[in-house]
Amino acid sequence: MLELEVVSACFVTVFSVFREIGMLLGSDLVFREHVASSGKEPGIHVKGPPEHTNCKPDIAADLIEEMLLMRAGKFRNTLTAVAALLLALPIVSHGATYKVVEVADGGSVKGKLSFEGALPADAIEKIGITKNPEVCDKDPNNPGYREVIWIDVDKGALRGAFVYLDKVKKGKKWAPPTDGKDGDFLVNQEGCRFRPWAQVVKPGNLVIRNSDKGVLHNINTRELIGVEKKRKPIKRTMFNFGQPDPGDIEQELKPRRSAHISVNCEAHNFMFAYMMAPKHPYAVVVKEDGSYSIDNIPPGKYTLKAWHPRLGVKKAKITVPAKGSVENNFVFSAKK
């Protein structure tokens, strides 16, 4: 049971969030669904929760999520509902600290992601280029438009997806990025595209680069909370700023509750990307042929997951043998 001071602190914290986003009307809490400014990625958007000395952030975040998802009806007594939810929530930790150790007898997992069935109608979208065409409109096959491939399939191979181990407590150290600055990972805005479209980065310092002379970019990075649930994820803004001049800006990337991240440019509604920022390095982006491989894994039992930003998450239980390898394939199809 939560202590009274924690309940009171969370009370203040949660209500400040809902007042800030205009969701508290009198004594009734109503559900509102907010849509991203681009109109391309509907979802729930919140900034919070704000920091508070006594309220545990995870408790406040869980409460906000539950209240946002209560679509049916209004609360006749919001105060009673908040108190009841707070008292019902367990004090949980969303991911323990990862410990780097020497992996002497590590194994590996490999496989392939494929797509079955017909692609949905919105798998590929053409968006008109109305800003900075002298830099952004460079595709001779689509003059005046940007072809955004939300679901990229080639000869049955699913691309643009992530594969990762869930809740790894200890193992190998992170490999340094190949194209970052001073050992930091990089998001490059070049030709009015985020490069790469999908990448795994280490939480912490991130370099945001504008490589387009004379073009104002405005990166908006959101933590996607609840991607494994059968609903639209909650989107928590991590950072959102303009970058009018070429060069680098260093920004801390600090996921609170989810390693899944979406990126878009508020200045150009055809620029998108995705990242994963897990606590551990056992995560990869699949290759162009849909294949993946994760190595140097401490032997043991794990939950292996595959995430495609449009198609969701699939998972499998695996056992990684010492100095051996296990294979696991994932098959995706259009959501019904």
22 backbone φψ class: left, alpha, beta (φ>0; ψ -120 to 50): left
Domains of the chain in start order, with CATH, are 4-36+48-88 (no CATH), 100-221+237-332 (2.60.40.420)
Q: Is 150 left (phi over 0), alpha (psi -120 to 50) or beta?
A: alpha
pLDDT, one tens digit per residue, over 229-269 is 878 899 999 999 999 999 999 999 999 999 999 999 999 99
Predicted confidence (pLDDT) per residue in 288-298, tens digit: 999 999 999 99
Residue 322 above 70 pLDDT? yes
Q: Could you read off the pLDDT of 14-60 as tens digits, one per residue?
A: 555 555 444 444 433 333 333 333 444 444 444 444 444 455 555 55
Q: What is the pLDDT of residue 7?
A: 47
Is the predicted pLDDT of residue 273 greater than 70, yes or no? yes
Confidence of residue 188 (pLDDT cuts 50, 70, 90): very high
Q: What percent of the chain has pLDDT over 70?
A: 71
Buried b (16+ CB within 10 A) or exposed e, 93-113: eebeebeeeebeebbbbebbb
Radius of gyration of the chain (CA): 21
What's the pLDDT at 67?
Answer: 55
Model confidence, pTM: 0.76
Q: Which of 200, 214, 300 is nearest to 260 (CA)?
A: 200
Contact, 191 vs 136, CB < 8 A? yes
The pLDDT value given to residue 52: 42
User: Can you tell me the distance from the alpha carbon of 68 to that of 33, in angstroms, rounded to the nearest whole number?
Assistant: 9
pLDDT of residue 132 exceeding 60, the answer is yes
The whole-number average pLDDT for the span 107-113 is 98
Strand order in the sheet with 162-165: 283-285, 162-165, 300-308, 312-320
Q: Is the pLDDT of residue 100 over 80?
A: yes
How far apart CA 64 and CA 281 sit, in angstroms, is 30
